[in-house]
Amino acid sequence: MTTHLTHVAAPEGVAPGSGYSHVVWGTGRFVAVSGQCALDADGRVVGEGDPAAQARQVFANLGRCLAAAGATFDDVVKLTYYVTDVAYLPAVRAARDEAVDTARPPASSAVQVSALFRPELLLEVEAFAVLPQERRP
């Protein structure tokens, strides 16, 4: 568990979210991870037509990107989900729950979009993290 982050699931007067914190803050070094899609290391789509397979690939890619900055999912303060159909959110949530500490989830936003940059992609997820100052890649 990281001690440089504070999670507030539901500030006073705000209804609790389902599986996310309304507020997360921390001290340290800020890391932004560009939106990740279900592409393998060669740029091929993984799980065409399968939101669960795509979500697993997206979170694997996010994990690799975080590691490049010396971060883990424990350092993530915000996830933003872009899905071409909100019906994919349970698959995204299942993949997310394998990666994050569900007792201290990051802040989150989900947006349905009409399309992503390739028609066979179903979702994209970006992440913001805060690392303790002393941790470097």
Sheet architecture: strand order including 107-112: 29-36, 123-131, 76-83, 107-112
The fraction of the chain above a pLDDT of 90, given in percent, is: 83
d(CA 131, CA 8): 18
Q: Which residues of 98-115 are buried (b: 16+ CB within 10 A; e: fewer)?
A: ebbeeeebbbbebeeeee
Under the banding of pLDDT at 50, 70 and 90, the label for residue 51 is: very high
The predicted model gives 86-91 an average pLDDT of 98
The answer to whether residue 115 sits within a structural domain is yes
The answer to whether residue 136 sits within a structural domain is no
By residue range, what is the domain housing residue 69? 5-131
* Gyration radius of the chain's alpha carbons: 15
Q: Into how many domains does the chain fold?
A: 1
Beta bridge partners of 29: 131
Beta bridge partners of 45: 39
The answer to whether residue 87 sits within a structural domain is yes
Say which CATH number the domain at 77 has. 3.30.1330.40
Pairing of strands 23-26, 5-8: antiparallel
Q: Contact 89/108 with Cβ under 8 angstroms? A: no
The predicted model gives 65-72 an average pLDDT of 96
The predicted model gives 34-54 an average pLDDT of 98
Q: How many CB atoms lie within 10 A of CB 44?
A: 9
The predicted model gives 121-132 an average pLDDT of 96
pLDDT at residue 133 greater than cutoff 80: no
The fraction of the chain above a pLDDT of 70, given in percent, is: 96
The answer to whether residue 57 sits within a structural domain is yes
The DSSP secondary-structure symbol of 73 reads: G
